[in-house]
Chains A and B, each alone.
Chain A
Amino acid sequence: MSDTYTLYNQTVMDHFLNPRNMGDLDNADGVGEVGAAACGDIMKISLRVEQGRIQDARFKTFGCGSAIASSSMATELIKGRTVEEALSFTNQEVVNALGGLPPVKIHCSVLAEEAIKAALEDYLKRHPAAAKPPGGP
């Protein structure tokens, strides 16, 4: 690839060409699907949660190279976090982990954050007990 020019940096290209965690989860505990009004991209994230911790995450994305890379990276970052930690996940973590995105593509990382939040909301709706603050009745 040394004599190849690329539209995105190496990390983004790697996650686009070799996406991590691509697919769906059978019997997922939470699923979020969101669309970007700006460009029309659509992202879907499925989560498996055990004892309040995200054990597995999968994505499917209809979108450009940076949208696919953003969802790939987001699922990598979110795995192993507790639901509470994951609720404060931000798109900036995705941008940083990818080594930056072109300004016009930052919204792709926002879409990844929104997809994760939507999947977490779905999980909390299905598991109301998990939404109770720790130490509560």
Chain B
Amino acid sequence: MRVYLDHLATTPVLPEVFEAMKPYFTEAFGNPSSLHQHGLRVRDALAEARRRIAALINAESPEEIFFTSCGTEAANLAVKGVAYANQRRGNHLVVSATEHPSVLSSVEFLEKQGFTCTRVGVDAEGWVDPEAVRAALTDQTILVAVHHANHDIGTIQSINEIGRITGERGIAFFVDATTSGGWLPIDVQAMGANLLSLSPHRFYGPKGAGVLYRNRRARLVSVLHGGVQENGRRAGTENVPAIVGSGVAAEAARVELPQRIAHTGRLQRRLWTALRERIPYIQLNGPEPGPRRISTSLNLSTEFIEGEGQLLLCDLNGIAVASGSSCVSKSLKISHVLAAIGLDHALAQGNLILSLGKDNTDTEVDYVVETFAGIVAKLRGMSPMWDEFQRGIIDSVINPTGRGRSFAEHAAAVSGKGAG
């Protein structure tokens, strides 16, 4: 059996998305900037895609929708574009510590140019307290950026409250909705968002297109210079097929949203309930399934084993998943989100991220539970930590017995240095 449980990485395009895109590779190949029939035809197609995206997020006008090449570019444009446009007003940015790297790296880039940034911490479930955002604001603050749902641990942020605070102070508010787009209701007006990014390939649209919503209350300068495409905010010939496909995916998401939430939410509970019953010393990172967690994601820590081995064995059994373990990252660092919630290093090492989609089934979930239980048993059989836990040399973090030292103390003793 093959089970795809990495929908936070990407999704397949819907058949109707693929069909809608096809003509724009061949007979409708025109450049929307051209003034002849070929150009005018695709201009209409872009306008329709803009209307559909605007409808998905309740934007006042399709003119507030800008297409980019991906969600990362949209975040770069939002953060750098607002910072540069407002640098005479102030130089201070406020972001949460668990933003996507496209936001955090943009901020680091700006810091080297004289901007300053406050990174607001999160609680143990990854939640950003709106009052902590308020406390971070100064008279120099020109942008607040907080994601809607966390890409790693699924936490849903109190966006409307943060939007009220930034609105009162007249500070631009950027919401990264690349994880929630197509999976949670989004109303930019109720959120008080001045900017919001979407990644259509995460909700059954194609790769190669990203979306930035921006209303008139946020000044924005271009970061990609050239022609006057996208109302002068994003130079470069539009990726017409991908934009058309994104519009169709947005329309499908708008119509199917309640069913998608209900279906993935039910599977999420089924999967987590069964895993917790079946496997000892496993925990969920981020909020429990429910109103505070996105319905698609489960971020797990299985104790005494490491995440990459879990991922490899899942893959060889047909199950596609992700991991935030240091062994999986090229930098040998655990996910910055797991670090921000203060997760014990041993648990971060055993991390696995499962993300559901609209086409997953009960049968698949049951197969994953059975297979994963076997994988955990196999890897624990190989792990010195599992053996030493049985013998009372080290203790469990998830369910402490009071015997033995902590994994961290043990790791430090055998490596001569602190782990992580």
Contact = CB atoms under 8 A, between A and B. Distances in A.
14 contacts: A16-B312, A19-B382, A24-B387, A35-B411, A35-B415, A35-B419, A39-B349, A41-B327, A42-B410, A42-B411, A60-B384, A62-B385, A63-B327, A68-B382
Contact of A104 (B316, B330, B410): B330
Nearest to B412: A35
Contact of B411 (A7, A17, A40, A44): A40
Contacts of A60: 382-384, 387
A22 B345 CA distance: 25
Contacts of B332: 38-39, 104, 107
Nearest to A37: B417
A77 interface: no
A73 interface: no
Nearest to A71: B382
Interface in A31-51: 33-44
Interface string A10-24: 000000110100101
Interface in A54-74: 60-65, 67-68
Interface residues on B, range: 20 to 34
A43 B414 CA distance: 9
Given A62-B306, A62-B384, A64-B307, 12 more contacts: A33-B414, A35-B414, A36-B415, A40-B345, A42-B415, A61-B384, A63-B309, A64-B325, A65-B308, A67-B327, A104-B330, A104-B332
A41 B414 contact: no
Contact of A40 (B309, B316, B326): B326
B15 interface: no
A96 to B, nearest CB: 22
Interface in B389-417: 410-412, 414-417
A14 to B, nearest CB: 12
B174 interface: no
Interface residues on A, range: 20 to 34
Contacts of B326: 39-40
A37 B417 CA distance: 6
Contacts of A63: 306, 308-309, 327
A111 B416 CA distance: 13
Contacts of A65: 308-309, 312
A43 B306 contact: no
Contacts of A34: 414-415
Contacts of A40: 326, 345-346, 349, 411, 419-420
B418 interface: yes
Nearest to B417: A37
Q: Which of A22, A41, A42 has the most CB of B within 10 A?
A: A42
Contacts of B417: 37
Contacts of A42: 384-385, 410-411, 414-415
Contact of A37 (B316, B383, B415): B415
B382 A61 contact: yes
B71 to A, nearest CB: 25
A23 B264 CA distance: 40
Q: Which 8 A-B residue pairings sit nearest by Cβ, starting from the closest?
A: A35-B415, A64-B327, A64-B308, A37-B417, A60-B384, A44-B384, A40-B419, A35-B414
A78 B419 CA distance: 28
A16 B382 CA distance: 10
B31 to A, nearest CB: 37
B305 interface: yes
B384 A43 contact: yes
Contacts of A68: 309, 382
A17 B349 contact: no
Contacts of A64: 306-309, 325, 327-328
B304 interface: yes
B279 to A, nearest CB: 17
Nearest to B349: A40
Contacts of B418: 37
Interface in B130-165: none
A63 B412 CA distance: 15
B304 to A, nearest CB: 7
